[in-house]
Amino acid sequence: MSRLFPAADFIETDSFSYERELLRQGFGLVAGTDEAGRGPLAGPVVAACVILPKGSDFTPFRDSKKTSARERDRLHDLLLEIGADIGVGCGTVEEIDKINILQASLLAMKRAVDCLTAKPDFLLVDGKFPVPLFIPQKSLIKGESRSASIAAASIVAKQERDRLMEKYHYQYPRYNFVRHKGYPTAEHRRLIAEHGPCEIHRRTFKGVKEYWGVDE
């Protein structure tokens, strides 16, 4: 635990504990950020950053992996209704292949923060690594289960990426992106082997790179 959360003064009791303690310490705007799409073989990595309004009900927001698509739609609408500040950013396929998926994910998070209406005073980040920004921040492993702000960001990031992959489905229908969203399912792997990769496949990923021509 960082010095902002000394054990004697802070106990992680619910998914708004970090935000509540930071607000108590005088940080006026606390944001959470998370990404979706580190594991797929195709498509960008998408990040979101969310500032939940003070006094809002944080309890509906939980890890996007534990929610259905319908529930994510409802929660996204709820974020808009309560006036949450939301930013979204992407790391492109080209950036993923050039700087690796971790760095592209952090870049997407940086872009999501930059897209907020207001600059946050403190940033809660899902994972082990800080976002390359001069903002006080704390990285939380499994943060989407520990911070409502990160959970809200995970919901937005997952929803935005799914919608993007559904659009790619109509551009590249032979890969059936609408079903698997680019993740390495057996069907997706079979379709890559059958048709070869397309422009939005990640060339450096195992399961894709084997199918690029020798000149690639």
Question: How much is the pLDDT for 6?
Answer: 59
Question: How much is the pLDDT for 41?
Answer: 98
pLDDT, block means (10 residues), the chain with 216 residues: 56 82 95 97 98 88 76 90 96 98 98 97 97 96 93 95 97 97 97 96 96 58
Question: How much is the pLDDT for 57?
Answer: 81
**Entry pTM:** 0.91
Q: Which long-range contacts (CB under 8 A, 24 or more apart) does 75-80 make?
A: 75/152, 75/155, 76/155, 76/156, 76/159, 79/50, 79/152, 79/155, 79/156
For 31, 37, 88, 120, 181, the CA distances from 115, given in Å and listed in that order, are 12, 19, 6, 11, 24
Q: What number of other Cβ atoms are within 10 A of residue 186's Cβ?
A: 8
Note the pLDDT tens digit of each residue in 58-76.
Answer: 888 876 677 788 888 899 9
d(CA 155, CA 21): 23
End-to-end CA distance of the chain: 46
In the block, residue with structure tokens 């927001």: 61
Q: Which domains does the chain have, with CATH numbers?
A: 17-163 (3.30.420.10)
Note the pLDDT tens digit of each residue in 98-141.
Answer: 999 999 999 999 999 999 999 999 999 999 999 999 999 999 99
Decide: residue 6, CB within 10 A, 0-12 exposed, 13-18 middle, 19+ buried: exposed
Question: How much is the pLDDT for 58?
Answer: 87
Question: How much is the pLDDT for 37?
Answer: 97
Residue 51 pairs with which residues in a beta bridge? 85
Contact 139, 46 (CB under 8 A): no
Which token pair is 95? 């950036």
Question: How much is the pLDDT for 10?
Answer: 59
For residue 152, the number of C-alpha atoms closer than 13 Å in the C-beta half-sphere is 32
Question: How much is the pLDDT for 1?
Answer: 40
CA dihedral 206, 104, 90, 82 (to 10 degrees): 110
